[in-house]
């Protein structure tokens, strides 16, 4: 028989049961604070990390991450910089322990992994903001000033063939030509370009980001075009501005079919990633979109697309302009929408896009709706992260608005689609709420021919100073010369 002294037994029990807080389970804490470009295109990653209750630095592992979450290892480092009291309070550690880090990704590695996103782990635990900040593109990629296209290239543009042609120079098309070839503006090499169509007719254009696959881990990335201006163009087919998409040069309006786009939407900071990969600062000025169907499509993440002083016409059951999810800071101003859609949809759809401006436009046919704001929850299995919020709809003219359909409708769907459950299972965006959640939009100083037909199905939003036209005269159908005159319409 073995005898254990009571004192030993009590002491053993006290270790097990009487003082449970003396041994605490540790968890990893930490955040990537910033990722910035340094001299010679190196990249500096700053943040902090700790193992809770452990009074020692931790090792961080740094990766380059793709849109779909796949990643490749770059390097390891230690937290070695003194940290402030607030971080020690979070970590429950002694004030002498360094928890901050600053790591420089070399110029060579930054160029190798440019366009991917920084991901940091400690003991296989992911720090917050991983996948949010990009390793920015090399300065030279977007700094080149483009020369005028050669006469031989212009001759190729005018050839009687229907395949696309990639444009990487400033293009001036001979006056009133009929172009058969679709103009393609692909990747960074199509940046900083001016196109003067001289009232020539074009079969639409496609502005889209170039997808490449890194050899390491087969990670995808996109290089978007930036700073493109179209003036005096007549488009007779859809114009697409496309970032991350399955078929960017086609007329498909279903980029949600893209594997990368869907998988990106399953983690935080999706909106930042698709915006980084999308075309930026693309302008259409004094142009005509004469298309039976959707005329201008802005794919997820499009930003700073400007449509100024242009005309939209043609027969259509579809929207004239579709602004898709996560798009932001686009401007639709001083345009004329005279397309015929007696049985179709609204003229402009804002689907999960924010901070857009629709101002000083004339809508000649508002019978099926003018501007609808909503969020297409679950479409294509992708999670919508943004809501249709902080948009400005101001000083527009709406004619032929006598039907029962709202002309401006904030939160027009609110989950009223059979595919809303296709994005279930994630703790953010349309996965946790099928509602449109359209908030903080401003609808102000708009004029209506017959009645102020504004419907708001979610709050808060600002709706004020909208009214019926006090002295309506039938619009004069003539070529536009003064884009501030609401009666200036071109004959359909």
pLDDT > 70: percent of the chain: 86
Q: Is residue 263 part of a domain?
A: yes
- The residue among 66, 91, 126 that closes a domain is 126
Quote the CA–CA distance of 321 and 287 in Å, as a whole number: 14
**How many Cβ atoms from other residues are within 10 Å of residue 57's Cβ?**
19
**From start to end of 89-238, where are the E strands?**
100-105, 117-122, 125-126, 165-166, 171-172, 183-186, 193-202, 205-208, 210-213, 220-223, 226-235
The whole-chain average pLDDT of the chain stands at 87
Region 428-454: mean pLDDT is 93
pLDDT at 18: 34
pLDDT at 420: 86
- The residue among 126, 153, 173 that closes a domain is 126
- For the cut 70, the answer to whether the pLDDT of residue 442 exceeds it is yes
The enclosing domain of 64 has a CATH number of 2.60.40
Q: Is residue 108 part of a domain?
A: yes
- For the cut 70, the answer to whether the pLDDT of residue 12 exceeds it is no
At residue 309's C-alpha, the angle toward residues 304 and 311, to 5°, is 105
Quote the CA–CA distance of 435 and 253 in Å, as a whole number: 22
Q: Is residue 204 part of a domain?
A: no
Quote the CA–CA distance of 370 and 296 in Å, as a whole number: 15
Tell me the two tokens of residue 192: 């900083």
Residues 122 and 242 in one domain: no
pLDDT at 380: 83
Q: Is residue 203 part of a domain?
A: no
pLDDT at 204: 84
Alpha-helical segments (H) within 83-203: 85-91, 107-112, 140-143, 151-157
Residues 472 and 331 in one domain: yes
Tell me the two tokens of residue 485: 């005159």
- The residue among 78, 107, 126 that closes a domain is 126
Quote the CA–CA distance of 273 and 276 in Å, as a whole number: 5
pLDDT at 3: 34
- For the cut 60, the answer to whether the pLDDT of residue 221 exceeds it is yes
Region 123-146: mean pLDDT is 92
Quote the CA–CA distance of 331 and 298 in Å, as a whole number: 12
Q: Per-residue confidence at 181, pLDDT binned at 50, 70, 90?
A: very high
Q: Is residue 20 part of a domain?
A: no
Rounded to 5 degrees, φ, ψ at 3 are -110, 130
Region 205-211: mean pLDDT is 92
pLDDT at 391: 98
Task: Tell me how far CA of residue 314 lies from CA of 294, 328, 339, in angstroms.
Answer: 10, 27, 5
Count of structural domains within the chain = 2
Strand partners, 234: 201, 288
- Per residue, the 3-state secondary structure of 336-390, as one string, reads EECCECCCCCCCEEEECCECCEEECCEECCCCCCCEEEECCCCHHHCCCCCCCCC
Least confident of 182-186, 418-422, 436-440: 418-422
Count the helices and strands in the chain (H runs, E runs): 7, 38
Q: Is residue 378 part of a domain?
A: yes
Q: Is residue 23 part of a domain?
A: no
Looking at per-residue pLDDT, the higher value among 349 and 204 belongs to 349
Residues 244 and 373 in one domain: yes
pLDDT at 313: 92
Residues 270 and 417 in one domain: yes
Tell me the two tokens of residue 191: 């940046």
Quote the CA–CA distance of 219 and 37 in Å, as a whole number: 22
- For the cut 90, the answer to whether the pLDDT of residue 368 exceeds it is no
Q: Which residues contact 391 (CB under 8 A, 6 or more apart)?
A: 350, 353, 354, 355, 356, 357, 358, 373, 441, 442
Tell me the two tokens of residue 117: 């996103």
Q: Is residue 10 part of a domain?
A: no
Cα of 233 vs its chain's centroid, Å: 26
For the CA atoms of the chain, what is the radius of gyration? 28
Tell me the two tokens of residue 292: 């039976």
Least confident of 254-268, 322-336, 473-487: 473-487
324-346 pLDDT, tens per residue?
999 999 999 999 998 766 667 89
pLDDT at 471: 61
Least confident of 253-257, 395-399, 428-432, 459-463: 253-257
- For the cut 80, the answer to whether the pLDDT of residue 256 exceeds it is no
The residue segments making up the domain with residue 66 are 28-126
Q: Per-residue confidence at 484, pLDDT binned at 50, 70, 90?
A: very low
298-313 pLDDT, tens per residue?
999 999 999 999 999 9
Q: Per-residue confidence at 421, pLDDT binned at 50, 70, 90?
A: confident
Q: Are 101 and 60 in contact (CB under 8 A)?
A: yes
Least confident of 30-39, 343-352, 386-395: 343-352
Q: Per-residue confidence at 144, pLDDT binned at 50, 70, 90?
A: confident
Tell me the two tokens of residue 419: 């595919």
Strand partners, 71: 65
Quote the CA–CA distance of 253 and 205 in Å, as a whole number: 14
């Amino acid at each position: 028989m073995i005898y254990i002294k009571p004192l030993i037994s009590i002491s053993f029990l006290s270790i097990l049961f009487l003082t449970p807080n003396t041994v605490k389970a540790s968890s990893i804490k930490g955040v990537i604070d910033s990722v910035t470009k340094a001299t010679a295109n190196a990249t500096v990653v700053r943040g902090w990390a700790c193992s809770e209750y452990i009074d020692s630095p931790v090792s961080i592992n740094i990766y380059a991450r793709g849109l779909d979450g796949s990643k490749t290892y770059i390097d390891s480092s230690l937290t070695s910089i003194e940290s402030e009291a607030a971080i020690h309070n979070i970590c429950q550690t002694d004030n002498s322990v360094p928890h901050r880090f600053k790591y420089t990704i070399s110029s060579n590695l930054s160029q190798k992994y440019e366009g991917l996103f920084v991901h940091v782990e400690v003991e296989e635990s992911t720090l917050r903001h991983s996948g949010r900040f990009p390793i920015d593109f090399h300065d030279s990629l977007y700094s080149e000033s483009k020369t005028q296209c050669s006469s031989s290239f212009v001759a190729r543009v005018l050839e009687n063939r229907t395949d696309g042609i990639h444009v990487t120079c400033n293009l001036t098309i001979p006056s009133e030509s009929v172009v058969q070839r679709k103009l393609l503006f692909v990747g960074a090499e199509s940046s900083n370009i001016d196109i003067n169509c001289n009232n020539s007719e074009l079969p639409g254009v496609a502005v889209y980001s170039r997808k490449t696959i890194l050899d390491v881990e087969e990670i995808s990335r996109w290089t978007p075009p930036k700073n493109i201006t179209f003036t005096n163009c007549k488009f007779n087919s859809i114009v697409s501005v496309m970032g991350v998409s399955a078929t960017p040069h086609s007329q498909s309006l279903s980029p949600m079919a893209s594997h990368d786009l869907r998988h990106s939407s399953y983690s935080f900071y999706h909106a930042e990633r698709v915006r980084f990969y999308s075309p930026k600062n693309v302008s259409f000025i004094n142009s005509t979109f004469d298309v039976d169907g959707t005329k201008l499509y802005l794919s997820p993440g499009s930003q700073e697309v400007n449509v100024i002083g242009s005309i939209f016409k043609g027969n259509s059951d579809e929207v004239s302009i579709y602004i898709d999810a996560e798009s932001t800071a686009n401007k639709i101003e001083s345009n004329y929408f005279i397309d015929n859609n007696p049985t179709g949809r609204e003229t402009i759809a804002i689907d999960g896009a924010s901070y857009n401006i629709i101002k000083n436009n004339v809508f000649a046919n508002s019978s099926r709706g003018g501007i609808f704001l909503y969020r297409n929850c679950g479409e294509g299995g992708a999670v919508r992260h943004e809501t249709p919020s902080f948009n400005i709809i101001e000083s527009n003219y709406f004619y032929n608005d006598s039907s029962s359909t709202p002309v401006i409708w904030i939160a027009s769907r609110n989950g009223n689609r059979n595919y809303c459950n296709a994005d279930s299972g994630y703790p953010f965006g349309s996965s946790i709420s099928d509602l449109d959640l359209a908030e903080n939009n401003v609808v102000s100083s708009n004029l209506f021919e017959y009645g102020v037909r504004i419907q708001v199905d979610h709050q808060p939003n600002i709706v004020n100073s909208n009214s019926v036209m006090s002295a309506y005269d039938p619009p004069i159908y003539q070529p536009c010369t003064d884009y501030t005159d609401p009666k200036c319409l071109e004959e359909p």
